[in-house]
Homo-oligomer: A and B are copies of this chain.
Amino acid sequence: MDNSNNEVTKVLEQYSQEINKEIKEVLSTIEPASLKKASIHLTKAGGKMLRPALTVLVSEAVGGNKKDAIKSAAAIELIHTFSLIHDDIMDQDEVRRGLPSVHKKWGEPVAILAGDTLFSKAFELVINTKVDGTSLGNESFERINQTLATVADACVKICEGQAFDMGFEGNFDVDEDQYIDMIFKKTAALIAAATKAGAVMGGADEKVIKAMYDYGKLIGLAFQIQDDYLDVVSDENAIGKPVGSDIAEGKMTLLVVKSLAEANDEDKKRLIEILKLDDTSPEHVSEAIDIFEKYGSAQYAYDVAMENVENAKQILEILPDSEAKQALSLVADFVVNRQN
């Protein structure tokens, strides 16, 4: 498992330099200096680069020219970064990627602007595919247009997902379908946009474009569910935050949704009490984890994540064999094999 994760790290990092070059370049002209620094801050903090790597990998897997996909890949990473900056303001999170969050360091007004700037720059980047030259002729206008539509659609969904997530706080009637729809919008939609953008820029036909969107959606769902799962089964060193943080914050996760659906009245009442606490002790966290255990909710979440990954890998069969296709299969496995 460790070996294949190392392999995936290599796969994800192979385009990092080119993608970061695009990001650095498009952000270099921002002024004044405070806005520029705030906008660049998280892009230099070393994210996984999962989303942009997926864009390039899919474009290669459908037979496209990498050159045409790099700017769209960088744009997807900027959209991800924009959403992190605004989410951190909304959730009052003070640390991100081991650094102070943007609003913590520059204040909320500049953080709102930095997010908005990255958002705008993402669209600029996709459009610049044409300006800077592609392997395509005028056909590229249509592909760029479809990619922009894909990105805009994902942005609306990210906002909707965050609004649902905030609305779910303290609402213990959320069922599994509602939960899955929320994480689709909040997390999976951008990963699906990343894979779709790769297919579009790579010149795939509509059937393959749709398949690649579905592949991205499925691994995106698995990614978020695995996050829910790791919160209770991993150890603090691996995930970089205390075990059970989601419980302490009273967050809605698939483990909570499943437990509330399955538990007897007493356990359900107790779990809700713990989730509502403002000051959650390690004992409370253990108690909640025991309730998850009793109803097999952690295992259930893992199984759902795994099933999504298996379905995602099945979808890849539409592609001809290639190194990029193999890499996409590895990435799907990584989503449930990762420890953080």
Q: Which residues of A approach B to under 8 Å, CB–CB?
A: 30-32, 34-35, 86, 89-90, 108-110, 112-113, 115-117, 119-121, 123-124, 127, 130, 138, 141-142, 144-145, 148-149, 151-153, 155-156, 158-160, 162-164, 166-167
Contacts and interface: CB of A to CB of B under 8 A. Distances in A.
Contacts of A164: 31-32
A159 B90 contact: no
A167 B340 CA distance: 39
Given A145-B127, A152-B124, A167 B34 contact: yes
A32 B127 contact: no
A283 to B, nearest CB: 31
A4 B90 CA distance: 46
Nearest to A112: B86
A117 to B, nearest CB: 4
A30 B156 contact: yes
A129 to B, nearest CB: 10
A138 B140 CA distance: 11
Contact of A142 (B34, B113, B138, B156): B138
A123 B30 CA distance: 21
B109 A90 contact: yes
Contacts of A151: 123
26 contacts: A31-B160, A31-B164, A32-B164, A34-B163, A34-B167, A86-B112, A89-B108, A90-B112, A90-B113, A109-B166, A110-B163, A112-B112, A113-B159, A115-B116, A116-B119, A116-B159, A119-B119, A120-B159, A121-B152, A121-B156, A123-B123, A123-B151, A123-B155, A127-B145, A138-B142, A148-B148
